Amino acid sequence: MRPLTWALLFLIVLLVLVLALMPPERHLGRLLTVVYLHGALIRTGAFLFIVGALVAVAALVHEDEKIWRWTAAFQVTAWSIWTLGFVVSFYPSYVTWGKAVVWSEPRTRMVVQVAVVSGFLFLLARWLGERVWIGISSLVVGVTLPLLLWRTGVIRHPLDPRHLSIGLASSKL
């Protein structure tokens, strides 16, 4: 195996250990572990989209094949982690709000929109076969995502997971 594969496996094992050994929260129990995992995946995906945009700038400037491959790798990895973060949110969303996907929540819609648009842009870039489009699609997502995260409001979605216990207690679950 390559060193990067070993590093990735190590990080996954470390993540599982941290989540497994984390003590349960007083009101939410182990549910908070899943909420933290969801938040970590979404934030990691966002970070990778932004880093991918920076790598895309380098690829557009230097025209190096290796940098183009990194741009595509960041885009696919960011999309995969971002989408996994959305899927992981189904369970805590169902337990706290009564639905696996609460479409009335702006953050939920934003996460889905980013997943659909970024996936479409990447597939379109691959279909066109021009690596410049991979860079452009990576830039579009990497530049607009921070703006979306900053401007998207919340209704029920707490930015601090510890506030879930207040909503859970008041919803009689």
Q: Are 85 and 36 in contact (CB under 8 A)?
A: no
Query: What is the predicted pLDDT for the residue at 26?
Result: 73
What confidence score (pLDDT) does residue 148 get? 93
Task: Copy the structure tokens of residue 131.
Answer: 């690596």
- pLDDT at residue 166, as a whole number: 44
pLDDT at 171 (0 to 100): 42
Q: What is the pLDDT along the chain (173 residues), one digit of tens a residue?
A: 677 778 878 888 888 888 788 787 777 777 888 888 898 899 999 999 999 999 999 999 988 889 999 999 999 999 999 999 999 999 988 988 888 998 988 999 999 999 999 999 999 998 998 889 999 999 999 999 999 988 988 766 666 655 554 444 444 33
What is the C-alpha end-to-end distance of the chain, expressed in Å? Answer: 47
Between CA 75 and CA 83 the distance in angstroms is 12
**What is the Cα–Cα distance from 158 to 141, expressed in whole angstroms?**
24
At residue 163, the pLDDT reads: 57
* Max CA distance (Å), the chain: 58
pLDDT score, position 170: 42
